[in-house]
Structure 1
């Protein structure tokens, strides 16, 4: 069955479920009556596959195999307080890459870097003194990874959501194209520097410090809620309450939408997972500068969140 036919079959079942719930009819009977997708003529031109409804929907597809089609990687750092008279620090910020690997290239590597780890260090040892919890969903297909994209607000991966819910802050990393942003051409001409970071999420203080740090590091960053740009950035502002970046203990967080040109510039060679893992530290310092700008912003936000 093609992805399109699978999508049509899923819609048929969901329609039957909805109708049964409304009419009070037995669900099993309606599902039995639901006909499978009809065979299509060989010369039929199919539309792009409908995006998966959720991570659960994607994980249940028999033609997608974890470890071959996609992967999930995460790290939750063990911390504990065994002394009755003292208090200890706790993980306050998590980094997410919900569309990593080949879906939105560069976000996996940047997730690891901001969390304090090397994208090329298979041992998993941290390379920076401060580390953060992280979660990544990564497309592993040789091509067509876009088909594995699940819209952030539809993410229902249990580890991703529990990671977000157990932290005060989340920084979620995403990719976009420059043309999608439709920024004012007077400021951002199509023939100019197309490397731009759009900062969204419901945590205004987090957004503000991210914009400042990223700009100070020599990159271009705009606040998705800035009146100068907000008219065209609604799709990229991370405002949905079900977006994992906002499903934190504070019900708000931050996300970065990074243009293709910006993500590519963080690596000497960006064309494959192996190339990115091997050249992130050979990009004239751009990867490290962007990583460290995000880490400084996190440190600033956390400094205003004392241990209670």
Structure 2
């Protein structure tokens, strides 16, 4: 699907904050940022997972959320064109970055991409420990371009995680990810907690190796 907007600059000029979208951020360590730039009802479940990881790991957090009643897919801007100023500043401030995205798929799988091969290795390992299937991302969602924001952190290499719809639904106890289902933390499943901890363990192992 072709994006309706060529950039976030264009989107911000033609849409309204609060009616169409919201931006939420959290500042913490500035060593790692977790993002969900297609959050809210654009790629459902990504905001909640990124929020869970950032809170438990004490990482910086950024999400752009689609909050329309419908047609939130129109608010999708590809990562290579996501020139929203708050995000770019937070990416620039952080040594490392992980971006959480959603993709189609009726099997609970993760497609991993991005230029940080070392962090990818640890994430694959720790997710496999909780029986999550992780595959290398195909070229169209590989996250390998230099101008993908996740690779614009200080390390100049980040990790992009594409989670299938089936996996994202499994993050919620009732297997649904509509607005109330997503934002009701009592509905967040043990799998959400396990996935969160796996990412934190991977980051911790990765950072210890680099120190």
Q: Same fold per TM (> 0.5)?
A: yes
For residues 24-63 of structure 1, the aligned pairs below 5 Å read: 51-61=4-14
Which residue in the other structure is 2:49 paired with? Answer: 110
Measured in 2, the distance between the counterparts of 1:196 and 1:59 equals 32
TM-superposed CA distance for 1:52, in Å, is: 0.4
Please list the CA deviations of residues 248-279 of structure 1 after superposition, one character each: whole Å capped at 9, or x if unmatched: 11110101000000011100232422211215
Measured in 2, the distance between the counterparts of 1:146 and 1:138 equals 11
Asked if the contact 1:245–1:255 (Cα under 8 Å) also holds between the matched residues in 2, the reply is yes
For residues 189-228 of structure 1, the aligned pairs below 5 Å read: 194-224=107-137
Larger strand proportion of the pair: 2
Measured in 1, the distance between the counterparts of 2:3 and 2:168 equals 26
Which residue in the other structure is 1:185 paired with? Answer: none
Measured in 2, the distance between the counterparts of 1:245 and 1:304 equals 21
For residues 167-206 of structure 1, the aligned pairs below 5 Å read: 167-178=94-105, 194-206=107-119
Please list the CA deviations of residues 106-144 of structure 1 after superposition, one character each: whole Å capped at 9, or x if unmatched: 00000100002xxxxxxxxxxx4x400011001001111
Report SS of the residue matched to 2:63.
strand
* Cα distance, 1:282–1:59 mapped onto 2, change above 3 Å: closer
TM-superposed CA distance for 1:223, in Å, is: 2.7
Matched, 1:140 2:67: yes
Matched, 1:258 2:163: yes
Matched, 1:243 2:194: no
Asked if the contact 1:207–1:223 (Cα under 8 Å) also holds between the matched residues in 2, the reply is no
Which residue in the other structure is 1:94 paired with? Answer: 33
Report SS of the residue matched to 1:110.
helix
Select the structure of larger CA radius of gyration.
Answer: 1
Measured in 2, the distance between the counterparts of 1:105 and 1:96 equals 14
* Cα distance, 1:143–1:160 mapped onto 2, change above 3 Å: same
Q: TM-score, normalised by structure 1?
A: 0.65
TM-superposed CA distance for 1:280, in Å, is: 5.8
Measured in 1, the distance between the counterparts of 2:2 and 2:49 equals 28
Measured in 1, the distance between the counterparts of 2:13 and 2:48 equals 27
Would you say how many aligned residue pairs link Structure 1 and Structure 2? 210
Which residue in the other structure is 1:27 paired with? Answer: none
Larger relative contact order (CA 8 Å, sep ≥ 6): 2
Q: What CA RMSD, in Å, does the superposition of the two structures yield over aligned residues?
A: 1.7
Instruction: Structure 2 unaligned segments of length 5 or more: list them.
Output: none
Measured in 1, the distance between the counterparts of 2:40 and 2:199 equals 20
Q: TM-score, normalised by structure 2?
A: 0.94
Instruction: Structure 1 unaligned segments of length 5 or more: list them.
Output: 1-47, 78-89, 117-127, 179-192, 225-232
